[in-house]
Amino acid sequence: MCIAVFVWQNHPRYPFLLLLNRDEFHERPTKPAEWWEGGEILGGRDEIAGGTWLACSRGGRVAFLTNVLELHTLPDAKSRGHLPARFLESTKSPKEFAEEVVREAHQYNGFNLILADLSSKPMMVYVSNRSEEEPAVILEVSPGIHVLSNAKLDSPWHKAQRLKLNFKELLNQYGEEDDIQVKEMVEKLMRDTVKADESTLPHICSLDWEFNLSSIFVEIDTPLGRYGTRSTAALTLRAGGEVSFYEIYLENENWKEQTVKYQIDKLK
Protein backbone atom coordinates (compact mmCIF):
# COMPACT_ATOMS: atom_id res chain seq x y z
CA MET A 1 0.00 0.00 0.00
CA CYS A 2 1.20 3.52 -0.77
CA ILE A 3 -0.18 7.04 -0.97
CA ALA A 4 0.83 9.96 -3.17
CA VAL A 5 -0.22 13.59 -3.47
CA PHE A 6 0.88 15.80 -6.34
CA VAL A 7 0.27 19.08 -8.09
CA TRP A 8 0.35 18.97 -11.88
CA GLN A 9 0.65 21.97 -14.21
CA ASN A 10 -0.92 24.28 -11.64
CA HIS A 11 1.96 26.12 -9.97
CA PRO A 12 4.06 28.89 -11.59
CA ARG A 13 7.42 27.65 -10.27
CA TYR A 14 6.77 23.91 -10.06
CA PRO A 15 5.01 22.29 -13.03
CA PHE A 16 5.14 19.03 -11.08
CA LEU A 17 5.58 18.30 -7.37
CA LEU A 18 4.99 14.86 -5.86
CA LEU A 19 5.09 13.44 -2.34
CA LEU A 20 4.83 9.65 -2.04
CA ASN A 21 4.87 7.20 0.88
CA ARG A 22 5.79 3.62 0.09
CA ASP A 23 4.36 1.02 2.48
CA GLU A 24 5.87 -2.46 2.62
CA PHE A 25 7.14 -5.10 5.04
CA HIS A 26 10.29 -3.83 6.71
CA GLU A 27 12.14 -7.06 5.97
CA ARG A 28 11.51 -7.00 2.22
CA PRO A 29 14.85 -6.30 0.49
CA THR A 30 14.76 -2.87 -1.13
CA LYS A 31 17.26 -0.54 -2.74
CA PRO A 32 16.89 3.20 -2.12
CA ALA A 33 16.74 5.60 -5.05
CA GLU A 34 19.81 5.46 -7.26
CA TRP A 35 20.75 5.68 -10.94
CA TRP A 36 20.09 2.32 -12.60
CA GLU A 37 22.46 0.57 -14.96
CA GLY A 38 23.10 2.88 -17.90
CA GLY A 39 22.56 6.03 -15.85
CA GLU A 40 19.26 7.07 -17.47
CA ILE A 41 16.69 6.03 -14.83
CA LEU A 42 16.58 7.15 -11.19
CA GLY A 43 14.47 5.34 -8.60
CA GLY A 44 14.22 2.78 -5.85
CA ARG A 45 13.95 -0.93 -6.51
CA ASP A 46 12.26 -3.93 -4.98
CA GLU A 47 15.05 -6.52 -4.84
CA ILE A 48 12.71 -9.51 -4.94
CA ALA A 49 10.59 -8.75 -8.02
CA GLY A 50 12.97 -6.18 -9.52
CA GLY A 51 10.39 -3.46 -10.13
CA THR A 52 9.81 0.00 -8.71
CA TRP A 53 7.05 2.10 -7.17
CA LEU A 54 8.50 5.44 -8.35
CA ALA A 55 11.18 6.35 -10.86
CA CYS A 56 12.07 9.10 -13.33
CA SER A 57 14.41 9.52 -16.29
CA ARG A 58 16.88 12.06 -17.62
CA GLY A 59 14.56 12.55 -20.57
CA GLY A 60 11.72 13.75 -18.32
CA ARG A 61 9.60 10.63 -17.92
CA VAL A 62 8.06 9.78 -14.54
CA ALA A 63 6.03 6.80 -13.40
CA PHE A 64 4.61 5.82 -10.03
CA LEU A 65 2.32 3.10 -8.81
CA THR A 66 0.00 2.14 -5.97
CA ASN A 67 -1.79 -1.13 -5.33
CA VAL A 68 -5.57 -1.35 -5.17
CA LEU A 69 -6.94 -2.68 -1.89
CA GLU A 70 -8.92 -5.82 -2.71
CA LEU A 71 -10.08 -8.92 -0.87
CA HIS A 72 -9.05 -11.50 -3.46
CA THR A 73 -5.82 -11.45 -5.48
CA LEU A 74 -4.34 -13.54 -8.27
CA PRO A 75 -1.69 -15.93 -6.91
CA ASP A 76 0.23 -16.06 -10.20
CA ALA A 77 -0.12 -12.42 -11.23
CA LYS A 78 2.69 -10.52 -12.91
CA SER A 79 4.63 -8.05 -10.77
CA ARG A 80 3.04 -4.60 -10.95
CA GLY A 81 6.39 -2.95 -10.21
CA HIS A 82 7.62 -3.78 -13.70
CA LEU A 83 5.08 -1.42 -15.28
CA PRO A 84 6.79 1.87 -14.25
CA ALA A 85 10.18 0.47 -15.27
CA ARG A 86 8.90 -0.58 -18.68
CA PHE A 87 7.44 2.85 -19.34
CA LEU A 88 10.70 4.59 -18.46
CA GLU A 89 12.63 2.28 -20.75
CA SER A 90 10.21 2.76 -23.66
CA THR A 91 9.83 5.55 -26.19
CA LYS A 92 6.02 5.47 -26.24
CA SER A 93 3.95 8.43 -25.07
CA PRO A 94 2.10 8.06 -21.75
CA LYS A 95 -1.17 7.41 -23.58
CA GLU A 96 0.37 4.91 -25.99
CA PHE A 97 1.97 2.99 -23.16
CA ALA A 98 -1.27 3.07 -21.12
CA GLU A 99 -3.09 1.50 -24.08
CA GLU A 100 -0.46 -1.25 -24.14
CA VAL A 101 -0.94 -1.84 -20.41
CA VAL A 102 -4.71 -2.10 -20.75
CA ARG A 103 -4.36 -4.99 -23.18
CA GLU A 104 -2.57 -7.05 -20.53
CA ALA A 105 -4.22 -5.56 -17.43
CA HIS A 106 -5.99 -8.82 -16.53
CA GLN A 107 -2.61 -10.42 -15.79
CA TYR A 108 -1.99 -8.15 -12.78
CA ASN A 109 -3.53 -7.67 -9.38
CA GLY A 110 -5.20 -4.31 -8.87
CA PHE A 111 -3.04 -1.28 -9.61
CA ASN A 112 -3.15 2.47 -10.16
CA LEU A 113 -0.43 3.76 -12.46
CA ILE A 114 0.54 7.34 -13.28
CA LEU A 115 2.62 7.91 -16.43
CA ALA A 116 4.00 11.35 -17.19
CA ASP A 117 6.20 13.14 -19.69
CA LEU A 118 7.62 16.30 -18.15
CA SER A 119 9.57 17.44 -21.20
CA SER A 120 8.66 20.15 -23.71
CA LYS A 121 5.26 18.52 -24.43
CA PRO A 122 4.00 17.63 -20.94
CA MET A 123 1.36 14.94 -20.55
CA MET A 124 0.13 12.84 -17.65
CA VAL A 125 -2.09 9.76 -17.84
CA TYR A 126 -3.75 7.62 -15.17
CA VAL A 127 -4.41 3.95 -15.89
CA SER A 128 -6.04 1.36 -13.60
CA ASN A 129 -7.20 -2.21 -14.05
CA ARG A 130 -9.81 -1.89 -11.29
CA SER A 131 -12.53 0.39 -12.59
CA GLU A 132 -16.16 0.29 -11.50
CA GLU A 133 -17.39 0.93 -15.02
CA GLU A 134 -15.12 -1.32 -17.13
CA PRO A 135 -12.19 -3.73 -16.82
CA ALA A 136 -9.60 -0.96 -17.23
CA VAL A 137 -9.60 2.80 -17.55
CA ILE A 138 -7.28 5.43 -19.04
CA LEU A 139 -7.70 9.09 -18.11
CA GLU A 140 -5.62 12.14 -18.93
CA VAL A 141 -4.84 13.84 -15.63
CA SER A 142 -6.14 17.40 -15.44
CA PRO A 143 -4.09 20.30 -14.02
CA GLY A 144 -4.47 20.65 -10.26
CA ILE A 145 -3.91 18.75 -7.03
CA HIS A 146 -4.56 15.02 -6.99
CA VAL A 147 -4.24 12.17 -4.51
CA LEU A 148 -3.63 8.51 -5.30
CA SER A 149 -4.11 5.94 -2.57
CA ASN A 150 -5.41 2.38 -2.81
CA ALA A 151 -8.57 3.08 -4.75
CA LYS A 152 -9.11 5.08 -7.94
CA LEU A 153 -7.50 8.49 -8.46
CA ASP A 154 -8.97 11.11 -6.08
CA SER A 155 -11.16 8.60 -4.26
CA PRO A 156 -12.67 10.26 -1.17
CA TRP A 157 -10.97 8.03 1.39
CA HIS A 158 -10.16 9.61 4.76
CA LYS A 159 -6.38 9.59 4.29
CA ALA A 160 -6.64 10.91 0.73
CA GLN A 161 -8.94 13.78 1.65
CA ARG A 162 -6.83 14.68 4.70
CA LEU A 163 -3.60 14.68 2.70
CA LYS A 164 -5.04 16.72 -0.16
CA LEU A 165 -6.43 19.38 2.19
CA ASN A 166 -3.20 19.68 4.20
CA PHE A 167 -1.07 19.70 1.03
CA LYS A 168 -3.14 22.52 -0.47
CA GLU A 169 -2.95 24.57 2.73
CA LEU A 170 0.83 24.19 2.96
CA LEU A 171 1.32 25.09 -0.71
CA ASN A 172 -0.68 28.26 -0.15
CA GLN A 173 1.48 29.16 2.83
CA TYR A 174 4.61 29.10 0.68
CA GLY A 175 3.08 31.33 -1.96
CA GLU A 176 3.64 31.25 -5.70
CA GLU A 177 7.06 32.92 -5.70
CA ASP A 178 8.74 31.13 -2.78
CA ASP A 179 10.87 28.01 -2.90
CA ILE A 180 8.98 25.02 -1.57
CA GLN A 181 10.73 23.33 1.36
CA VAL A 182 10.22 19.67 0.55
CA LYS A 183 11.75 18.36 3.77
CA GLU A 184 9.29 20.43 5.75
CA MET A 185 6.43 19.17 3.59
CA VAL A 186 7.49 15.58 4.14
CA GLU A 187 7.70 16.05 7.90
CA LYS A 188 4.39 17.91 8.22
CA LEU A 189 2.32 15.92 5.74
CA MET A 190 3.71 12.43 5.18
CA ARG A 191 4.39 11.35 8.76
CA ASP A 192 0.77 11.88 9.80
CA THR A 193 -0.45 8.92 11.90
CA VAL A 194 -4.08 10.06 12.40
CA LYS A 195 -6.41 7.16 11.58
CA ALA A 196 -9.92 7.19 10.17
CA ASP A 197 -13.10 6.63 12.08
CA GLU A 198 -14.23 3.04 11.48
CA SER A 199 -17.51 4.25 10.00
CA THR A 200 -15.60 5.81 7.09
CA LEU A 201 -13.56 2.72 6.17
CA PRO A 202 -14.23 1.15 2.73
CA HIS A 203 -15.17 -2.28 4.18
CA ILE A 204 -13.23 -4.29 1.62
CA CYS A 205 -11.02 -6.36 3.93
CA SER A 206 -11.01 -6.88 7.69
CA LEU A 207 -11.79 -3.76 9.69
CA ASP A 208 -8.61 -4.10 11.77
CA TRP A 209 -6.42 -4.16 8.67
CA GLU A 210 -8.24 -1.25 7.04
CA PHE A 211 -8.08 0.77 10.25
CA ASN A 212 -4.33 0.26 10.57
CA LEU A 213 -3.85 1.30 6.92
CA SER A 214 -6.08 4.36 7.23
CA SER A 215 -3.34 6.79 8.28
CA ILE A 216 -0.98 8.52 5.85
CA PHE A 217 2.06 7.16 7.71
CA VAL A 218 1.57 3.46 8.48
CA GLU A 219 3.08 1.37 11.29
CA ILE A 220 1.74 -2.16 11.98
CA ASP A 221 3.09 -5.23 13.74
CA THR A 222 1.79 -8.32 11.95
CA PRO A 223 2.38 -12.09 12.28
CA LEU A 224 4.63 -11.78 9.21
CA GLY A 225 6.69 -8.94 10.69
CA ARG A 226 6.58 -5.18 10.86
CA TYR A 227 4.72 -3.48 8.01
CA GLY A 228 4.44 0.18 7.19
CA THR A 229 5.91 3.24 5.58
CA ARG A 230 9.41 2.32 4.43
CA SER A 231 10.24 5.51 2.56
CA THR A 232 8.97 8.93 1.55
CA ALA A 233 9.98 10.59 -1.70
CA ALA A 234 9.56 14.20 -2.78
CA LEU A 235 10.01 14.64 -6.52
CA THR A 236 9.94 18.18 -7.90
CA LEU A 237 10.32 19.75 -11.31
CA ARG A 238 11.15 23.44 -11.54
CA ALA A 239 10.01 25.52 -14.50
CA GLY A 240 13.57 25.58 -15.88
CA GLY A 241 13.79 21.80 -16.03
CA GLU A 242 15.67 21.01 -12.80
CA VAL A 243 14.51 17.80 -11.16
CA SER A 244 15.10 17.14 -7.46
CA PHE A 245 14.52 13.67 -5.98
CA TYR A 246 14.57 13.80 -2.17
CA GLU A 247 14.12 10.54 -0.27
CA ILE A 248 14.04 9.59 3.38
CA TYR A 249 14.12 5.83 3.85
CA LEU A 250 14.56 3.02 6.36
CA GLU A 251 17.79 1.03 6.26
CA ASN A 252 18.41 -1.49 9.04
CA GLU A 253 15.65 0.26 11.03
CA ASN A 254 17.48 3.60 10.82
CA TRP A 255 16.15 6.56 8.84
CA LYS A 256 18.51 7.94 6.20
CA GLU A 257 18.04 10.68 3.63
CA GLN A 258 19.45 11.76 0.30
CA THR A 259 18.80 14.23 -2.52
CA VAL A 260 19.64 13.74 -6.19
CA LYS A 261 19.33 16.62 -8.67
CA TYR A 262 19.61 16.69 -12.46
CA GLN A 263 18.46 18.63 -15.49
CA ILE A 264 15.92 17.17 -17.92
CA ASP A 265 17.76 16.66 -21.20
CA LYS A 266 15.05 18.10 -23.44
CA LEU A 267 14.75 21.29 -21.38
CA LYS A 268 18.46 22.15 -21.26
Per-residue pLDDT in tens (0 to 9) along the chain, 268 residues: 799 999 999 999 999 999 999 999 999 999 999 999 999 999 999 999 999 999 999 999 999 999 999 888 889 999 999 999 999 999 999 999 999 999 999 999 999 999 999 988 899 999 999 876 667 899 999 999 999 999 999 999 999 999 999 999 999 999 877 789 999 999 999 999 999 999 999 999 899 999 999 999 999 999 999 999 999 999 999 999 999 999 999 998 899 999 999 999 765 4
C-alpha to C-alpha distances, 59 to 7, 17, 222, nearest whole angstrom: 20, 17, 41
Q: What residue segments make up the domains of the chain, in order of their start?
A: 2-154+219-267
pTM above 0.85, yes or no: yes
- Please calculate the CA angle 110-116-119 and round it to the nearest 5 degrees: 170
Return d(Cα 48, Cα 27) in angstroms, integer. 11
Indicate the fold that domain 2-154+219-267 takes in CATH: Penicillin V Acylase; Chain A (3.60.60)
